[in-house]
Amino acid sequence: MPRKTIIYIDGYNLYYSRLKNTPYKWLDIVTLFRNQILKAQDPLAEVVAVKYFTAPVKASYARHGTTSEQAQTQYLRALQAKYDFIEVINGFHIFEPTRLPTFVKDVPANKDNLSSVWMIEEKQTDENLSLQVYRDAIKGHCDQVVICSNDSDIEPVLKLLALDAPEVIVGLVMPLPEPGPDTQRFSNKRLIGKAYWVRHYIRDDELAKSQLPQHVPTNKKPASKPGHW
């Protein structure tokens, strides 16, 4: 019997932990999670929704300025044009001045040597993800939740699911590279003990096989892969 499954993706966690500095940013998240990962992990999984959590890029602080902002827009347009069951849920960024210890190579941080910096902080992504997971589980929208995040902020919702919806299977996909001589990053121990199953990494070949077409048709102008991606 098919197992109704909803996939929840922390977009920034996936990007910064796995996709940054790779050629795989133009990622087809449905192909990756449904066809590459879940097909092997749980052949009974039937993906009924994918929820992607992010926050709009601000050109004023992005590395590529307005190009970064446009790249995110193109990417989200491409995903939602190709799949009608992808929902993008936005948080926001705060951007404000603060004072932090000045970096001096090989010297510990010193609270008496501070520099003024701009603090950029993403807000509501983890909260939105956790609330959506809990609501879908409690309302019986799915038999299984699959979460792509290595962030300990989601630990509370995993604890609550075990108490309030123990019949719902919890799967975790860690947005980490496959371990190797030059990559030794590990799954969050606070999370892995609270899931029914855990995928500890995403391989390069899986990402390579899960790329969107260069140009994705939409109701308007096609969404195209950004040049710097």
Residue 186: per-residue pLDDT: 83
Reply yes or no on whether the pLDDT at 63 is more than 70: no
For the segment 143-151, the average pLDDT, to the nearest whole number, is 97
- Our count of domains for the chain comes to 2
Boundary of a domain, candidates 76, 108, 123: 123
Residue 117: per-residue pLDDT: 75
The answer to whether residues 210 and 149 belong to one domain is yes
Label the pairing between strands 45-54 and 114-123: unpaired
The answer to whether the pTM exceeds 0.95 is no
Assigned domain for 99 exists = yes
The answer to whether residues 152 and 104 belong to one domain is no
Helix H, strand E, coil C: the string for the chain is CCEEEEEEEEHHHHHHHHHCCCCCCCECHHHHHHHHHHHHHCCCEEEEEEEEEECCCCCCCCCCCHHHHHHHHHHHHHHHHHCCCEEEEECEEEEEEEEEECCCCCCCCCCCCEEEEEEEEEECHHHHHHHHHHHHHHCCCCCEEEEECCCHHHHHHHHHHHHHCCCCEEEEECCCCCCECCECCCCCHHHHCCCCEEECCCCHHHHHCCECCCEECCCCCCEECCCCC
The answer to whether residues 191 and 215 belong to one domain is yes
Assigned domain for 229 exists = no
For 52-66, 136-150, 191-205, which range has the lowest pLDDT when averaged over its residues?
A: 52-66
More confident residue, 123 or 180: 180
Residue 116: per-residue pLDDT: 76
Assigned domain for 199 exists = yes
Domain that holds residue 22: 3-90+124-224
The answer to whether residues 150 and 61 belong to one domain is yes
The answer to whether residues 116 and 220 belong to one domain is no
Residue 32: per-residue pLDDT: 98
Query: What gap in Å lies between CA 97 and CA 74, rounded to an integer?
Result: 30
CATH code of the domain covering residue 76: 3.40.50.1010
The answer to whether residues 11 and 43 belong to one domain is yes
The answer to whether residues 54 and 149 belong to one domain is yes
**Mean pLDDT, the chain, integer:** 91
Interacting residues of 138 by C-beta distance below 8 A, sequence separation 6+: 164, 165
Residue 154: per-residue pLDDT: 96
Residue 176: per-residue pLDDT: 97
Helix 125-138 crosses helix 155-164 at what angle (to 10 degrees)? Answer: 10
Boundary of a domain, candidates 123, 140, 168: 123
Band (pLDDT 50/70/90 cuts) for residue 65 is low
The answer to whether residues 26 and 58 belong to one domain is yes
More confident residue, 37 or 113: 37
Residue 131: per-residue pLDDT: 98
The answer to whether residues 114 and 160 belong to one domain is no
Assigned domain for 218 exists = yes
Assigned domain for 173 exists = yes
The answer to whether residues 153 and 187 belong to one domain is yes
The answer to whether residues 53 and 66 belong to one domain is yes
Of all residues in the chain, the percent with pLDDT exceeding 70 is 92
Q: How many residues does the chain have?
A: 229
Please tell me the number of Cα atoms within 13 Å of 122 on its side-chain side.
Answer: 17
The answer to whether residues 10 and 76 belong to one domain is yes
